[in-house]
Amino acid sequence: MSVLRACAVVLLACLMLDSPPIVAADNDQLVLIETESFDEAGGWVVDQQFMDQMGSPYLLAHGLGEPVADAVTEVTLPAAGSYRVWVRTRDWVAPWNAPGAPGRFEILLDNQPVDTVFGTEGAAWHWQGVGRVQLNDTVEVRLHDLAGFDGRCDAILLSADLDFVPPDDGDALRQLRSRLLGWDQEPVDAGTYDLVVVGGGFAGSCAAIAAARLDLSVALIQDRPVLGGNGSSEVRVWPEGESRVEPYPEVGRVVDELSPSASIKLHPDPKGPLAFDDRHKTQLAMAESNLDLFLQHRVNAAEHDNNHIVSVTAQHTRSGQRKRFTARWFLDSTGDGVLGALVGADYEYAAQGHMGTTNLWSIGETTANEHQIRCLCDDDDPLSINFVASKAAQPFPRCPWAVDMSQIAFPGRDGKTAFGAPGINQLGNWFWESGFNKDIIKDGEWIRDLNLRAMFGAWDTLKNIDGKYPNHRLKWAAFIGGKRESRRLMGDVVLTANDFRNKTVFDDAAFPCSWHIDIHSPHPEYFESDSGDAYFSTFTRGKEFRYQGPYWAPYRCLYSRNIDNLFMAGRDISVSQTGLGPVRVMRTGGVMGEIVAMATSICKAHDCTPRDVYQSHLHELKQRMTQGIPAHD
């Protein structure tokens, strides 16, 4: 197959894009341009992962060492005249005092570069200012990448008031942005539903599809252009976990539809985008008439009263348009417990000593990488190309700002192995992991960037010091982090590792777990256990981390103990830190989603809460588990 299916889903997401407000003016003095809403992103990608911390998404030049194509938009100004230019950016390697400023880029106004190179200063996000420029009343704005090493631009501000200095952060910046972009206005009413699902990974996607088939009205809100989360082509983690096993062999039908068992591992290119088949997941969701799909929307506000959620508000990650969703019941399947945290749900969170985040990557003997291959939203055939095997050397620039790997026997160098087969298999695998002693939420960008620095340092060493893989290039790398651990929302039962070891029997056993008690920590061969800069991991092994499975875990882990209409599914369910190990894999999360759908249908039938399903209608839940979710009509 020559068509890259993942690109077709991006085409679909572009067709669904709300008309983006490119520019906002204030009394003819301030003109704010949000980069994520540019007319054409070019080779830049929209990164929304940290918008809750910094106020909005931004554009990232993720070129793997080759400058990406310009992002371009056209702006109409209140009037021609003299403006001061401010660009919100940062030097992303400055937190490590690393030399070189790899994220360099230029701003071109009507094809004339502003007399400053951006992304060269400041460890924190800030406004980098430029002197006065003379502009016409209509101007073309371009982001011009200079390096291909993850330069980033949040926004551009043009000020007719030459003395104005924009606020760098905090409430003042949020108020400025909200006022200029209209985010302080009432959000658009997106409708009322039986169930609103927040988070479109395996757990949320399975829950939404299953609930729609049970005649519930469902909104599925996902902040990326594709479904699947860690199991999408953006992150590329193999979905693990058993489904359709005794005593409820019909539980897991939707999971098997979303990702047939072992299909990814058996794919000819298991690290490639086709193996993860984003298009298939989206088509499954869109085939359900009771399901409304909202891609590229991030829930960042919620209304709640007396421990009851009334509505959530989601912001489009490109246009900035805000929508309000009202529902009887809500599901937090975000992985980070985002909705639960917004509404005051009880949760536990290990600030340190937790599992880390991986940004997988791969190399290939090819003349192009995936990030050089872009699709256009107005193209009937967005992409029709195979990778061409390289028969010539593919040079890679030196990276003095990356992690210095020259003296490290890292996995994949000189036959060194961590786990699995030696060679290319060791490069960019799951154990390239960081963030163990950082705040997963607040320090998310730092964690992702350390993973990138480790990757670039290893590849620089292999290519330029060891002289290995002369015809290979970095073919792909995830800029979206694959997280393992974050907030865990507390339910009426908090499942622990000892429950698995001791085979604790629960009368509300509802979803099967088969993955071992898999907890990651810094790899002792390379790092101390409390290292803040660790980027290799190991995992728990031995008899004490195994159990006889599948083990059926209780339904009471899947709803909040203090928010009366909040369900959970995925890795943010009610477990202890060690209890997270067996439940955090994707197919297991997908089965949780099916159970939540069944429970929600019971809630609707009896006008009751998730807790009431256990206390008064458990027999009915078990009946539905025996029947399973019906196939698509």
99 and 169, same domain (yes or no): yes
Q: In 10 A of CB 79, how many CB atoms? A: 11
pLDDT bin (cut points 50, 70, 90) of residue 26 is low
Tell which wins on pLDDT, 131 or 468.
Answer: 468
Residue 564 to residue 609: CA distance in whole angstroms: 6
Say which CATH number the domain at 602 has: 3.50.50.60
Report the pLDDT value the prediction gives residue 28, as an integer from 0 to 100. Answer: 64
Q: What are the backbone dihedrals phi and psi of residue 49, each rounded to the nearest 5 degrees, phi first? A: -60, -30
207 and 175, same domain (yes or no): no
Helix (H, G, I), strand (E, B) or coil at 116: coil
Would 58 be classed as within a structural domain?
yes
Domain hosting 159: range is 18-181
Report the sign of the C-alpha dihedral through residues 376, 377, 382, 387, in that order. Answer: positive
Q: What is the DSSP letter of 14?
A: H
Would 30 be classed as within a structural domain?
yes
Report the pLDDT value the prediction gives residue 375, as an integer from 0 to 100. Answer: 42
Would 427 be classed as within a structural domain?
no
The count of domains in the chain is: 2
pLDDT bin (cut points 50, 70, 90) of residue 184 is confident
Quick one: what percent of the chain has pLDDT higher than 70?
Answer: 92
Query: Which of 130, 160, 181 is at the close of a domain?
Result: 181
Report the pLDDT value the prediction gives residue 260, as an integer from 0 to 100. Answer: 67
24 and 141, same domain (yes or no): yes
pLDDT reading at 230 higher than 70: yes
Report the pLDDT value the prediction gives residue 153, as an integer from 0 to 100. Answer: 98
Query: Which of 181, 204, 231 is at the close of a domain?
Result: 181
Report the pLDDT value the prediction gives residue 21, as an integer from 0 to 100. Answer: 46
Instruction: Give the pLDDT confidence of 27-80 residue by residue, as tens digits.
Output: 668 999 999 999 999 999 999 999 999 999 999 999 999 999 999 999 999 999
Which range, of 73-82, 165-174, 189-198, 535-544, averages the lowest pLDDT? 165-174
pLDDT reading at 380 higher than 50: no
Q: Which residue has the tokens 């791969």?
A: 362
Query: Which of 164, 181, 198 is at the close of a domain?
Result: 181
Beta-bridged to residue 45, according to DSSP, are 60
pLDDT bin (cut points 50, 70, 90) of residue 267 is confident
592 and 621, same domain (yes or no): yes
Residue 122 to residue 90: CA distance in whole angstroms: 5
Tell which wins on pLDDT, 322 or 380.
Answer: 322
Would 338 be classed as within a structural domain?
yes
Token readout for 568 is: 């959970």
Report the sign of the C-alpha dihedral through residues 359, 360, 364, 366, in that order. Answer: negative
Helix (H, G, I), strand (E, B) or coil at 411: coil
Quick one: what percent of the chain has pLDDT higher than 90?
Answer: 83
Report the sign of the C-alpha dihedral through residues 624, 238, 386, 62, in that order. Answer: positive
Would 396 be classed as within a structural domain?
no
Averaged pLDDT, 217-242: 96
pLDDT bin (cut points 50, 70, 90) of residue 387 is confident
Q: Average per-residue pLDDT in the chain?
A: 92
Report the pLDDT value the prediction gives residue 19, as an integer from 0 to 100. Answer: 46
Residue by residue, DSSP assigns 242-268 as: --SBTTBTTTTHHHHHHS-TTTTTTSS
Residue 481 to residue 455: CA distance in whole angstroms: 13
Token readout for 534 is: 């660790």
pLDDT bin (cut points 50, 70, 90) of residue 382 is very low
Instruction: Give the pLDDT confidence of 397-439 residue by residue, as tens digits.
Output: 999 999 999 999 999 999 899 998 888 889 999 999 999 999 9
98 and 168, same domain (yes or no): yes
Would 479 be classed as within a structural domain?
no
Do the bridges between strand 566-568 and strand 218-221 make them parallel or antiparallel, or are there none, so unpaired?
unpaired
Q: Which residue has the tokens 């070129």?
A: 63
Q: Are 80 and 135 in contact (CB under 8 A)?
A: yes
Report the pLDDT value the prediction gives residue 604, as an integer from 0 to 100. Answer: 98
265 and 133, same domain (yes or no): no
Q: In 10 A of CB 388, how many CB atoms? A: 10
Would 507 be classed as within a structural domain?
no
pLDDT reading at 279 higher than 60: yes
Residue 146 to residue 122: CA distance in whole angstroms: 18
